[in-house]
Amino acid sequence: MSKKIKNKILVIGWDAADWKIIMPLIEQGKMPAIESLMKRGVHGRLQTLDPPLSPMLWTSIATGVRADKHGIGGFVEPTPNGEGLRPVTTTSRKVKAIWNILNQEGWKSNVVAWWPSNPAEPINGVMVSNLYQVATKALGEDWEMPNGTVHPESLSETMKEFRVHPHEISLAMAHPFMPNIVDNLELRKANKTLSVLKTLSNAATIHSASTYLMAETEWDFMAVYHDAIDHFCHIAMRYFPPRRPEIPLEDFENYKDVVEAGYRFHDMMLDRTLSMIDENTTVILLSDHGFHSDHQRPLYIPQEPSGPAVEHSPYGIFVMAGPGIKQGEQISGASIIDITPTILYHAGLSVGKDMEGKVLYQCFSTPSPAHMIESWENVEGNSGQHDTLMREDPWAAQEALQQLVELGYIEAMEDDKLLQVEKSKRENEYYIARNMINGGRLKPAIEILERIFEESNVLRYGQRLAFAYLSKKMYLKCQEVIEKLKVVDLEERTKRKQETEQSLDPFGNNEFEEPMYLEYLEGLLNLAMNRPRKALPLLENVQKKNPNNLQLATSIAQIHTLRKNFKAAENQYITALAIDDRSTAAHYGLGLSFLRQSKFNEAVDEFLLALEQDFFQPNIHYHLGEALVKLDLFEDAVSAFQVCTRLTPGMTKAHKWLVEIYQNKLNKPELAEQNLAFLKSNIKGDIIVCTGVDNCEYEQLLQLLKAGGLKIEYDHDEFNEAAKILFTNDWLENNIGKVVYIPSRNLSDLPVNYNYKVIYLDQTLDEILPVRTSKLKKSIPEKSIVVKMLKTIEKEKYIIDLWIESQPNQQVLILNWNELLDSDVEQISILSEFLNCDFDLEKMKKYLHNL
C-alpha cells in the first residue's frame, strides 16, 4: 500500500565526527555548510553506546535497539562453511531497520554504504552496500563488485561508473591532506599516504553514488554513511596539532593536515548534498561516537581486537534541520538509539515500545506525544528484508556445523581455524555483554562474562566482569575476580617475559597493562564499599601514572566528597574538567563541591554547565534548586525543583523543597498543598532519628526516650545496621514511628521516602573529649592525639550541620545534653512538643536523676 509522503528525510552519517574538531573549524570559516545547517536546525552531542564499535553502533542507530537485540556485535562473523571469518553481513541483523519499517509504510528508500549492508536488501528503492567502495584490483583492471553490492541488480553497471580508484587520486586532490606530497617522492610511496588516498577515494565513491541516486531516483527516505572521518582520524590523529613530544617531527609535518582536510572535504560534500534537496526535506547529520583529538589522545593502541576503539570518545555529533524543527537551538540528552524513534515520530509513524531509544521531542517546534505500538516486528507487510532463510545467526550456524563435525558428518576444520573462530565468537559475546552493561542489563552480561572468562582467562573479560559485579553491588564476587585476575596477570607477565619476541597474537591482553587496572579496580571496590580511606591511596597511585584519566579524577573527587573534604574534591573536579571540559559528571561534582562550601553563585554556574551537556539529570536540577534557594532566588528554585519532579516524579525531597518554598517564601499555600498531598501518598512513614558525633551520649538519650514511653527496640545489632545504611535500608521499615540512631557520617545515606524528625545531640568538645581519650587507656594522651581528636570531632559536627542545612522542610531539634541534665523539665517539655507526644515525665526525671 502506497501512502502519500509529506516530506523527505535525509540521514547523513559521518563516522567519528566530533564537535571538538568541528567548532574551531566553523569559527575559522572552514566548515560553512554544517554551520548553515546548524543555524536552520538544532544541534547537540550524541551519546554513544559501549563498546564504541561502528557496525554495532550504526545498526543501533538504524534500529533503535542495542546489540543483544539487533544481533550485530563485532566486525566479523563466521563464513557459511564455518571455516573462517568474513565481514559482518546484513543477514545477521535480527530486527527491522528504519528503512524496512518505512518500506512497509510505502516509503521509497535509498541506502548507501550503511554498516553493515551487504548483501543489499531488496527494499523499494536502492541499496548500495558497504562493500561498494572497496577497490579490489589495480587501476585499469576489471574491478568487479562483490555479489549483493547493489539492489536492484539492474543498477549495478551504472553504479560501477561512480567508483573512484585510490590510484586515480591526483596530486592536486591529495595536496590539501599532505602538502609535502608534491615534492616528496618517498612520502608518495608510504603506506600511510596510500591509506589516506584510499580513504579519500572511498569517500568520493560513496558521495558520488549518493548524489547520483538523489538526482536520478525517486526517494522519500535516504541514508548515506561515510566512514572516512573515522579512517582519517585513525591514520593521522596522532599527527594532529599540537605535536606531542613522542611524534617525530618529519611525520608530523607530513600528516598534520590530514584530519582537518578530511573534515573540510566532508563539509564540501555536505554543501553539495544540501544544494540537491529542497527546504521541505529534513536533514539529520550524525556521528556514532567522537574521536579524541587533544591531550586525551591515547599514547598507545592496544594490540587486540578492536584495540583502535580506544581512540574513540563517548560523544558524537547531531544536527537536525527541516520543517517542524526548532532553529538555532542546542539540545542535550540525545543518544544514538534515539535516532530511529525520532525519525518514525517525525514521519508520523508509530514508535515501537520494544525500542530502547526515545523520541527527541526537544528538537520539534510543537511536539505532541508519539503513538506507540508494541513492536514493529509483529507488523506484517513487505519490509524489504532478506528472505527468512537467508537471515540467520552466523554464530549459531557455526555451532551447528561444529556439531556435525563432532558427529562425523563433515570433516573437521583445521585446529587453528577453529581456534580463530572460537576466539572471535567469544570476542563477539564480550562486545554484546559490554553493550548489555551499558544498557543496565547486568545480570545477563555477568552470565556471559563469567562463562567466557572461565573458558579463556582473557584478562579483559575478567576486568569487565569485576566492573559488572561492582555495578551490581556483588562486592564479594568482585573481590574474588580481582584475586583471580592477580594470578592470571602474573602468569601472563611471566609468560611474556619468557617470550623473546613480541606477542603477535591479536587477542593479547594489553588493554590495562600500563594503567594499573588491578589497583584501579580495588580502589573502586573500596570506594563502592564506603571505605574511602582505603580507596584514596590506591586511586591516587593509579592517577600518578594516568593523569589524563577522567573517570579516575572523578572517582577520587567522589572520595573527597564522601569524606566531606570539599576543597580537595573541587581540585579533583577541576582536574577532571581540564581533561574533558564537556564532562557532565565533573561539572556537576564541581557544582556540588561549591555548594557545600557555600559558594552558591559558582555552584549555579557549574550546575548550568552540566545541564547544558545533559539536561535530563534530575539530581543536577535538584542541587541547582538548592543553590538557588541559598541565593534567595525562589522562583528560579521552584522551576528547578519542578523540572526535577517532572523527570523523576517520585523524588520526594524535591517535593519537600517545593512545599517549603510555597509555604514559607512565596506564600502560595494551594501549591504547597498539592505537593504535600503527593508527599502524604508517597512517604512510607515517620522515623525519629537521633544523631550526634561519635561517643556522644546517644545511648542515654535513647534510654531517656524509652523511659518516657517511646518505642525503642534497643539492640546493638540494629545500631550496627545503621552504619551499613549505604548498602541496605530495609530495616528502616521496621522502625516506622520508632527512634533510630544514625551516625553523623551516614546521615546523607538516609532514604528520601520517610519523614524524619531529627534530634541532634549537641555536646561540647569538653564533654566528648574525655570519653574518647578514656578509650585510649592512657591517663594522659599525647598532645598530638588530642589535637587530632579535636579536629575529628569538629569535622563530625560540621558534617551534621551540613546535612541539616541541605534538608528541606526537615524538623530538627538541637538538644544539649548538659542543659538537659541541668534543667530536665524544661528540656523534656521541648522534646515532648517537638515529637508531639505525651511523655511519662516522672519516669524520665527519675532516669536522669539516676545517671
Partner 1 sequence: MLNGRISPQLLILHFIEIEFNMEKEYQITSQGSLGLLALGHVGIRKWREVVEKEKLEIRNSSKENVKKNKK
Give residues in contact with partner 1 (CB under 8 A).
30, 161-162, 164, 167-176, 182, 188, 197, 200, 203-204, 207-212, 215, 264-265, 268-269, 271-273, 275
CA geometry: angle 317, 323, 324, nearest 5 deg = 85
Nearest to 530 by CA among 574, 475, 581: 475
**In this structure, which amino acid lies at residue 794?**
E
Whichever of 172 and 476 has its CB closer to partner 1, that residue is 172
CA 494, chain centre distance (Å): 36
Rounded to the nearest whole angstrom, what is the least distance from the CB of residue 108 to partner 1 in the complex?
19
> Would you tell me how many other CB atoms lie within 10 Å of the CB of residue 308?
15
Minimum distance of partner 1 from residue 237's CB (angstroms): 20
At its nearest, how many Å lie between partner 1 and the CB of residue 271? Answer: 7
- Residues in the chain, overall count: 851
Q: How far apart are CA 600 and CA 624, in angstroms?
A: 9
Closest contact distance (angstroms) between CB of 395 and partner 1 is 39
Q: Which is nearer to partner 1, 272 or 297 (CB)?
A: 272
Q: Measure the CA–CA gap between 272 and 215, rounded to whole angstroms.
A: 12
Nearest-approach distance from CB 116 to partner 1, in angstroms: 24
Q: How far apart are CA 309 and CA 601, in angstroms?
A: 39
CB of 214 to partner 1, least distance (A): 8
Centroid of chain to Cα 454: 28
Relative to beta strand 85-87, strand 76-78 is: antiparallel
Whose Cβ is closer to partner 1: residue 212's or residue 817's?
212
DSSP letters along 18-84, please? -HHHHHHHHHTTS-HHHHHHHHTEEEEEEE--SS--HHHHHHHHHHSS-HHHH---SSEEE-TTSSS
SS3 741: strand
Closest distance between partner 1 and the C-beta of residue 13, in Å? Answer: 17
Listed residue (726, 727, 732, 768) closest to 747, CA to CA? 726
Nearer to partner 1, 194 or 379 (CB): 194
The set of residues, in sequence order, having a beta carbon less than 8 Å from that of 673 and lying 6+ positions away, is: none
Nearest distance from C-beta of residue 18 to partner 1, angstroms: 21
User: CA–CA separation, 328 vs 225, rounded Å?
Assistant: 25
Nearer to partner 1, 80 or 176 (CB): 176
Distance separating alpha carbons of residues 402 and 222, to the nearest angstrom = 41
Residue 144, strand partner residues: none
Please state the closest distance from residue 240 (CB atom) to partner 1, in A: 18
Nearer of residues 29 and 440 to partner 1, judged by Cβ:
29
Under 8 Å between Cβ of 428 and 73: yes
Least distance from C-beta 275 to partner 1, angstroms?
7
Look at residues 337, 333, 240, 285 and name the one whose alpha carbon lies nearest to residue 17.
285
Report whether 606 contacts 588 (CB < 8 A).
yes
Q: Would you say 285 or 516 has its CB closer to partner 1?
A: 285
Distance CA 283, CA 9 (A): 6
Nearest CB to partner 1, comparing residues 31 and 550 = 31
Which amino acid, one-letter code, is at 501?
E
Q: Minimum distance from CB of 154 to partner 1 (Å)?
A: 18
Please say which residue, 30 or 845, places its beta carbon nearer to partner 1. Answer: 30
Q: How far is the CB of 277 from partner 1 (least distance, A)?
A: 13
Nearer to partner 1, 275 or 388 (CB): 275
CA dist 768 → 85, 744, 764, 792 (Å): 72, 15, 7, 11
Where in 172-249 does DSSP place strands (E)? 221-226
Closest CA to 524 of 595, 466, 481, 573: 466
C-alpha to C-alpha distance for 235 and 259, rounded to whole angstroms: 9
Which residue's CB is nearer to partner 1, number 210 or number 335? 210
Give whichever of 269 and 319 is closer to partner 1, judged by the CB atom. 269
Query: Both ends of the chain: CA-CA distance in Å?
Result: 89
Nearer to partner 1, 266 or 772 (CB): 266
Query: 96 is written with which cell numbers?
Result: 527491522
Q: How far is the CB of 182 from partner 1 (least distance, A)?
A: 7
Task: Kindly state the smallest distance separating residue 160's Cβ from partner 1, in Å.
Answer: 12
- In angstroms, the Cα distances linking 643 to 260, 621, 656, 666 are 40, 7, 14, 18
Q: Cα–Cα distances in Å, from 248 out to 187, 629, 822?
A: 14, 55, 80
Tell the residue number behind the cell numbers 554484546, with chain if given. 432
Smallest separation, CB 425 to partner 1 (Å): 40
CB of 172 to partner 1, least distance (A): 4
Cell numbers at 408, concatenated: 562425523
Q: Which is nearer to partner 1, 176 or 367 (CB)?
A: 176
Q: Which residue in 685, 787, 671 sits closest to 733, CA to CA?
A: 685
182 vs 419, beta carbon nearer partner 1: 182
Cell numbers of 3, please?
501512502
| Closest alpha carbon to 559 in 520, 607, 523 | 523
Q: At a CB cut-off of 8 Å and minimum separation 6, what does 587 contact?
A: 573, 577, 606, 607, 609, 610, 613
CA distance 361 to 373: 18
Nearer to partner 1, 72 or 200 (CB): 200
Q: H or E stretch including 286? A: strand 282-286
Tell me whether residue 8 or residue 653 sits nearer to partner 1 (CB atom): 8
Instruction: Quote the least distance from Cβ 211 to partner 1, whole Å.
Output: 3
Comparison of 263 and 839: residue with beta carbon closer to partner 1: 263
CB of 278 to partner 1, least distance (A): 16
